[in-house]
Amino acid sequence: MSTEKELQERSESKCELCAATDNLQVYEVPPTSDGSADQSILVCSTCHEQIENPEKVDANHWRCLNDSMWSTVPAVQVMAWRMLDRLKSEGWPQDLLDMLYLDDETMAWAKAGATESQSEDSIKHLDSNGAVLNAGDSVVLIKDLNVKGANFTAKRGTAVRNISLVYDNPEQIEGRVNGQHIVILTKYVKKS
């Protein structure tokens, strides 16, 4: 059976990201796809164009990931994670990213392809000691911080796990403290 036929059977002839039924094509998920159905997904022309051309991305189109991110197919999970990661500055994708769980192997695959597309950014987030911070790292606060708008103080020594990077500002990261999603200046944290 051809890869395309396998994918059509698996997806019931629908785009595996947005469920569209027109203009479907095989998309081999980089960076190391061998062309098999396990490492490919069936996508519509709209999804394909926006995956390939980040400048043409319509964030509202990708609200469909709210459903498709729960797929049991690793290749679909990888592309859902990559698109949510690419769009997280919009706000709503970050909430979905926080809910999305990928096993270690699938997460490594997702990050491998994401770093290729984001290597041109080359913005480095550095902690108070000059260590490079990456999305998903854990950090510890080195100073008590008053959290504006939330009426609490984040105490020194508080661990912040699974941080997100603010891609347009290398001096800021995001994380959860006391159940609140907050922005933290990198000069007030150290990598743990």
Q: If we measure between CA atoms, which residue out of 32, 57, 39, 34 comes closest to residue 47?
A: 57
Distances (CA, A) of 184 to 19, 59, 148, 161, 170: 37, 25, 11, 13, 11
d(CA 184, CA 171): 8
Q: What is the pLDDT of residues 113-126, one digit of tens each?
A: 765 444 444 578 89
Positive or negative CA dihedral for 125, 132, 159, 86? positive
Encode 115-145: b = buried (16+ Cβ within 10 Å), e = exposed: eeebeeeeeebebbeebebebebebbbbeeb
d(CA 165, CA 168): 9
Q: Which of 99, 118, 137 is the last residue of a domain?
A: 118
Task: Quote the number of domains for the chain.
Answer: 2
Which backbone phi and psi does 58 adopt, to 5 degrees?
Answer: -105, 105
Identity of residue 86? R
Say which CATH number the domain at 185 has. 2.30.30.40
Q: Are 59 and 90 found together in one domain?
A: yes
pLDDT band at 151 (very low <50, low <70, confident <90, very high): confident
pLDDT band at 163 (very low <50, low <70, confident <90, very high): very high
Q: Are 169 and 85 found together in one domain?
A: no
Residue given tokens 């990708």 in the structure block: 62
Q: What is the pLDDT of residues 17-71, one digit of tens each?
A: 999 999 999 999 888 778 788 899 999 999 999 998 888 889 899 999 999 999 9
Q: Are 145 and 105 found together in one domain?
A: no
3-class secondary structure, 110: helix
Q: Are 131 and 191 in contact (CB under 8 A)?
A: yes
Domain that holds residue 44: 3-118
Q: Are 48 and 25 in contact (CB under 8 A)?
A: yes
